[in-house]
């Protein structure tokens, strides 16, 4: 029996995604004006009210679909508007949103403009079908996520505008999966980024200078890399673990020196550390402080980022939203697997205020966030709209 291949390129939601991908909102010189104009036009077309929060340079846009019982805790679908820069040689222009072999190419196709459009299209479809949910649904579009979210979601959750949403459950971005099942992330590793500054005696490169910065930074790097090897081996030895289950450590910058024949006064080693949810933060920091003392005098820590520990969202029968969401996906004949997000997202700011799951309906596709030739199969994108429709009807009517 032959199967008819569907031409998804003519789908109205796909065309909408193309138009959104063509709106540039790229770091480092990001400008949100055109993006906000595009999204507000979407809300206007659906007849939904909108609200602008925070500053013009770092705006948050809220679009609201009111429920039949607006006094109930609401549902929040969050997405970020910004993308990372474009690097490398692309097969298709990164902001042309061209389609080839059933894939749409462009910066943001996976991270995360596709999810933004899926949120909008799912609500649009439910309204067109005459559906009403008990709970109000809010769609938030936030800035600055790709720079860490400090000027976006972190500030937004402090506002009265956020508190007035009365959020009971939220969804934020997840990751694609090459397998048949969807991935859902109940928590994420904690981001610590730090500089270890090693100072010592400067002098001529021909001497064995005591108390020099090179010896100190070597000691620090050795300790971090030994621990890195230990965590990496855990991942190799235990097939049940994923990258989200273990702490990762990477040396990302090494700075210092003036001339080849001068032992410098200072070396600085910068590390990007993502702490597993099982790590005791106090003990981990004490260990680093001990390494600094072992290295010698004049060795200090400067944190660029030091996120607090946030417990993962519960994923058992006590979380009625998760039970409803899981059931809506399994009713489509699709499995869903729980993991810990290996990186960080805006969910870490939300999770202190409400249950949050990181989820984007992308399966049968390798994850490509920030990569050259970032792309998404159109069939996966369209399937995701139906998934969000079903999820919203399930969680939006939770008793």
pLDDT digits (tens, 9 = 90+) for 76-90: 999 999 999 999 999
The CATH number of residue 165's host domain is 3.40.630.10
What is the token pair recorded at 45? Answer: 């077309």
Is residue 318 a part of any domain in this protein?
A: no
How many Cβ atoms are within 10 Å of 351's Cβ, its own excluded? 23
Task: Examine the domain organization and report whether 173 and 79 are in the same domain.
Answer: yes
- For the chain, the average pLDDT equals 96
| CATH number reported for the structural domain that contains residue 216 in this entry | 3.30.70.360
Candidates 111, 121, 145, 146; catalytic one: 145
Residues 141 and 206 in one domain: no
Q: Judge if 175 and 211 occupy the same domain.
A: no
Q: Are residues 177 and 216 in the same domain?
A: no
* Predicted confidence (pLDDT) per residue in 9-38, tens digit: 999 999 999 999 999 999 999 999 999 999
Return the pLDDT at 170: 98
Do residues 117 and 52 both lie within one domain?
A: yes
Residue 330 located in a structural domain? no
Domain boundary among 306, 321, 356: 306
Statement to judge: residues 157 and 290 lie in one domain? no
What's the structural domain count of the chain?
A: 2
Instruction: Say yes or no: 172 and 201 in one domain.
Output: no
Arithmetic mean of pLDDT, 272-297: 97
Does residue 38 sit in the same domain as residue 152?
yes
Domain boundary among 306, 326, 351: 306
Q: What is the mean pLDDT of residues 344-358?
A: 96
For residues 145 and 229, give the distance between their C-alpha atoms in angstroms, rounded to a whole number: 30
Q: Which residues pair with 253 in a beta bridge?
A: 270
- Domain check: are 116 and 175 in the same one? yes
Q: What is the Cα Rg of the chain in Å?
A: 24
The pLDDT score that the predictor gives to residue 1 is: 41
Range of the domain at 244: 190-306
The enclosing H or E element of 311 equals none
Let me know if 282 is a catalytic residue. no
Domain-terminating residue out of 247, 279, 306? 306
Q: Read off the DSSP letter of residue 223.
A: H
Catalytic residue status for 330 = no
Please report which confidence band the pLDDT of residue 399 belongs to, taking 50, 70 and 90 as the band edges.
confident
197 found inside a domain = yes
Q: CA–CA separation, 387 vs 331, rounded Å? A: 10
Q: Indicate if 80 and 104 belong to the same structural domain.
A: yes
Give 56 or 391, the one with higher predicted confidence. 391
Same domain, 102 and 207: no
Residues 156 and 242 both lie in one domain = no
211-270 per-position pLDDT tens digit: 999 999 999 999 999 999 999 999 999 999 999 999 999 999 999 999 999 999 999 999
Look at residue 319 and tell me if it is in a domain: no
Q: What is the rounded distance in angstroms from the CA atom of residue 184 to the CA atom of residue 171?
A: 10
Q: Is 210 contained in some domain?
A: yes
* Pair 26, 82: CB distance under 8 Å: yes
Owner of token pair 């894939």: 103
Report yes or no on 243 lying in a domain.
yes
């Amino acid at each position: 029996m032959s199967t008819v291949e569907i031409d998804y390129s003519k789908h109205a939601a796909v065309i909408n995604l193309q138009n959104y991908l063509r709106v540039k909102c790229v770091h480092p010189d990001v400008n949100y004006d055109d993006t906000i104009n595009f999204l507000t036009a979407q809300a206007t077309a659906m007849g939904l009210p909108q609200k602008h929060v925070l500053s013009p340079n770092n705006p948050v846009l809220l679009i609201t679909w009111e429920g039949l019982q607006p006094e109930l805790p609401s549902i929040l679908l969050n997405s970020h508007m910004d993308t990372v820069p474009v690097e490398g040689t692309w097969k298709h222009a990164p902001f042309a949103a061209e389609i080839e072999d059933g894939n749409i190419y462009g910066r943001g196709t996976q991270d995360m403009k596709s999810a933004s459009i899926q949120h909008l299209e799912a609500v649009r479809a439910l309204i067109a079908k005459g559906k009403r949910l008990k709970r109000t649904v809010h769609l938030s579009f936030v800035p600055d996520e790709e720079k860490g979210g400090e000027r976006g979601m972190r500030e937004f959750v402090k506002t009265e505008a956020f508190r007035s949403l009365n959020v009971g459950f939220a969804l934020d971005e997840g990751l694609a999966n090459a397998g048949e099942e969807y991935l859902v992330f109940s928590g994420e590793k904690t981001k610590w980024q730090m500089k270890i500054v090693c100072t010592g005696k400067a002098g001529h490169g021909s001497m064995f200078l005591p108390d020099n910065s090179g010896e100190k930074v070597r000691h620090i790097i050795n300790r971090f890399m030994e621990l890195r090897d230990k965590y990496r081996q855990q991942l190799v030895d235990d097939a049940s673990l994923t990258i989200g289950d273990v702490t990762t450590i990477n040396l990302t910058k090494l700075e210092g020196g003036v001339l080849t024949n001068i032992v410098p006064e200072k070396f600085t080693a910068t590390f990007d550390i993502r702490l597993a949810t099982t790590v005791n933060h106090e003990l981990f920091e004490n260990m680093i402080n001990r390494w600094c003392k072992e290295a010698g005098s004049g060795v200090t820590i400067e944190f660029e980022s030091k996120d607090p520990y946030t417990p993962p969202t519960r994923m058992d029968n006590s979380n009625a939203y998760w039970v409803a969401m899981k059931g809506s996906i399994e009713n489509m004949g699709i499995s869903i697997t729980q993991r810990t997000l290996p990186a960080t997202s805006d969910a870490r700011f939300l999770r202190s205020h409400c249950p949050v799951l990181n989820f984007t309906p992308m399966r049968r596709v390798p994850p490509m966030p920030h990569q050259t030739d970032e792309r998404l199969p159109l069939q996966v994108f369209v399937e995701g709209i139906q998934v969000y429709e079903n999820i919203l009807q399930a969680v939006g009517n939770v008793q």
